[in-house]
Amino acid sequence: MSINTPATFDSHNPVTGGVIGVYPILSESSALSAVAQARAASKDWQTLGFSGRKKVLLAWSKILIDRVDECAELISRETGKPTSDAKLEATLAIGHLAWAARGAAEVLRTQHRRPGLIMANMSAIVTHVPFGVIGVIGPWNYPIFTPMGSISYALAAGNTVVFKPSEFTPGVGLWLAETFAEAAERRDIFIVITGLGDTGRALCESGVDKLAFTGSTKTAKKVAEACAKTMTPVILECGGKDPVLVAADADVKTAVEYSLWSAMSNAGQTCIGAERIYVDAKVSDKFIELFVSEAKKITVGAPGSANYGPATMPSQIQVIQSHVSDALSRGAEAVVGGLESIKAPFVEPIVLLNVPEDSLAMTDETFGPVIAINVVQNMDEAIALSNASRYGLAASVWSKRHGEKIAAQLQCGMVSINSTISFAAIASVPFGGVKDSGYGRIHGPEGLLGFTYPHTIVRTRFKLPVSFTSFKRSAFADKLIVGIVKALHGRSIG
Ligand code: NDP
């Protein structure tokens, strides 16, 4: 290999293991040069303004929807998921892109703020300034939906973007850049760099103005540490151990149907997918019986032949195995499948009952088609167990009458009542977690605001006869300010 030839890595079809693409491992200097290019494009992108950017982004969304079949094929080839799932993922991502493009002007408009009585001679405005260049590091489980939650909002807010896709889905990342370049007629507003973890690390250290990461909590901590060296702000979207709470007054049939899909679809590789179910003892027999019979109907195999596909990342099989084996050795009961369901690269559905709360299957993200069901005496117990997790990404609540009361007590970023993961498809609401599930938000107005910083400008409209911010401040001014504050706030109780 010559010094000028970059090293490469292979991308594999997760079903067959065969090589489906070879991509360059971009070095630290390539990451730096990508960021420099994106920075050079930044001024023009900002100058376009909201309406100019909206035009480009809507043109891009049209290209994406026109070529959704091609996109779904590519996602399916790299991840092994059914093309129908890939299409759903792509359409949701396009919905977010269009919402961000259309909503940015309103959400990020200049705001006039009241200066208050003491500063009544001032005007005050707050503008929302794009950071400049945003680095995005994405995962492989939803290779278009997840990174586009950052890319779309960052671009709409007026930033340029350098994106490092997962090494398992580089083709989808590059396809996104190609299609963007068709709409924008230039490539430096949204640049994709391929490589392994080190390329991601180089992006963190490249001097980007903000970094948006999606992936494991473990890597998120490395990202936060690398970014801290340069005070680069970060948004971290990490894993979850999402609970489903099924109350005594739940519509059990629908709760089973949706929770099963949430747990098993995409081979369980969904950060906001169900991993734990707490079901009220009053309906648990009915719930478990139906859940088991429906789970047995799920088919697993290559795209086109089954409900879900293989584990995209081969090393995940080991994680799934360790969680199931730990749960079984501590007394959990497998009512559907078991260790024998793990037939790499596929894992058939595994349903566990009575899983000890301190076992790996309850404490760590399994990211496989495995669900733990534990029976509780009431929803207070379900809430306490849900909140005991170190994760706090999302949750789902099934109750006809008490959904909102239960949802309000859950320590997580998002809750669906009588549905599952539907918040991800509502572009106007923020997405993100608390605790080990990360911080910062994508999607919605908060997602747009997160890719800007507030810039305050106050201006003297007229001069007051007294001055408070001068060495010429008089005794009268001292008296006046105390008097005004006393009048305004001195009597307030509660
Ligand atoms: P990682 O968190 O390791 O990878 C996510 C992204 O970070 C990838 O693009 C990866 O690149 C990149 N990366 C890796 N190391 C670094 C680094 N030091 N600095 C910057 N970027 C880096 O996740 P994995 O793909 O290894 O999956 C591990 C686990 O993470 C899964 O088992 C699952 O539990 C969880 N996960 C959660 C997701 C979510 O949506 N919240 C999504 C995917 C995984 P590369 O791929 O090239 O290594």
Atom of ligand 1 nearest to the CA of 393: 41
Question: Among residues 365, 337, 370, which one has the least CA distance to residue 435?
Answer: 365
Helix (H) or strand (E) holding 54: helix 49-66
pLDDT in tens, 170-214: 999 999 999 999 999 889 999 999 999 999 999 999 999 999 999
The answer to whether the CB of 313 is under 6 A from ligand 1 is yes
Q: Which residues pair with 378 in a beta bridge?
A: none
Question: How many angstroms separate the first and last alpha carbons of the chain?
Answer: 73
Max intra-chain CA distance, the chain? 85
The answer to whether 73 is a known catalytic residue is no
pLDDT of residue 4 exceeding 80: no
pLDDT of residue 275 exceeding 70: yes
Q: How far is the CA of 268 from the centre of ligand 1 (A)?
A: 16
**Cβ neighbours around 481 below 10 Å, total:** 14
d(CA 479, CA 477): 5
The answer to whether the CB of 222 is under 6 A from ligand 1 is yes
pLDDT in tens, 32-61: 999 999 999 999 999 999 999 999 999 999
**Cβ neighbours around 451 below 10 Å, total:** 29
Amino acid at 484: I
- Rounded average pLDDT over 150-162: 98
- Rounded average pLDDT over 276-291: 98
The answer to whether the CB of 167 is under 6 A from ligand 1 is yes
337, two tokens: 């499948």
The answer to whether the CB of 24 is under 6 A from ligand 1 is no
pLDDT in tens, 60-83: 999 999 999 999 999 999 999 999
| Three-state secondary-structure class, residue 395 | strand
pLDDT in tens, 299-337: 999 999 999 999 999 999 999 999 999 999 999 999 999
pLDDT of residue 9 exceeding 60: yes
The answer to whether 333 is a known catalytic residue is no
Atom of ligand 1 nearest to the CA of 140: 43
In the predicted model, what is the mean pLDDT of the chain? 96
pLDDT in tens, 404-439: 999 999 999 999 999 999 999 999 999 999 999 999
pLDDT of residue 5: 67
- Rounded average pLDDT over 11-28: 97
Nearest C-alpha to atom 25 of ligand 1 is from which residue?
A: 139
187, two tokens: 């490539």
CA-to-CA separations, 397 to 182, 258, 449, in angstroms, rounded = 43, 11, 29
Amino acid at 126: V
In whole angstroms, what separates CA 435 from the centre of its chain? 14
Active-site annotation holder among 167, 237, 294, 348? 237
pLDDT of residue 2: 45
Nearest C-alpha to atom 19 of ligand 1 is from which residue?
A: 201
Nearest C-alpha to atom 9 of ligand 1 is from which residue?
A: 166
Active-site annotation holder among 71, 227, 238, 271? 271
Name residues whose C-beta falls within 8 Å of residue 172's C-beta, 6 or more positions apart in sequence: 71, 74, 75, 78, 143, 144, 165
pLDDT of residue 382 exceeding 60: yes
Q: What is the DSSP string of 181-249?
A: HHHHS-SSSEEE---SHHHHHHHHTTT-SEEEEES-HHHHHHHHHHHHTTT--EEEE----EEEEE-TT
Q: Is 323 left (phi over 0), alpha (psi -120 to 50) or beta?
A: alpha
Q: How far is the CA of 240 from the centre of ligand 1 (A)?
A: 14
Atom of ligand 1 nearest to the CA of 219: 2
**Cβ neighbours around 271 below 10 Å, total:** 28
Q: Where in 358-494 does DSSP place strands (E)?
A: 370-376, 391-392, 394-398, 414-417, 434-435, 438-439, 452-460
For a mutational test of ligand 1's pocket, the pick from 81, 136, 219, 366, i.e. the residue with the most ligand atoms closer than 8 A to its C-beta, is: 219
d(CA 37, CA 28): 14
- Rounded average pLDDT over 352-373: 98
Nearest C-alpha to atom 26 of ligand 1 is from which residue?
A: 216
Q: How far is the CA of 78 from the centre of ligand 1 (A)?
A: 16
pTM for the predicted model, two decimal places: 0.96
Name residues whose C-beta falls within 8 Å of residue 271's C-beta, 6 or more positions apart in sequence: 141, 214, 237, 238, 239, 240, 365, 393, 437
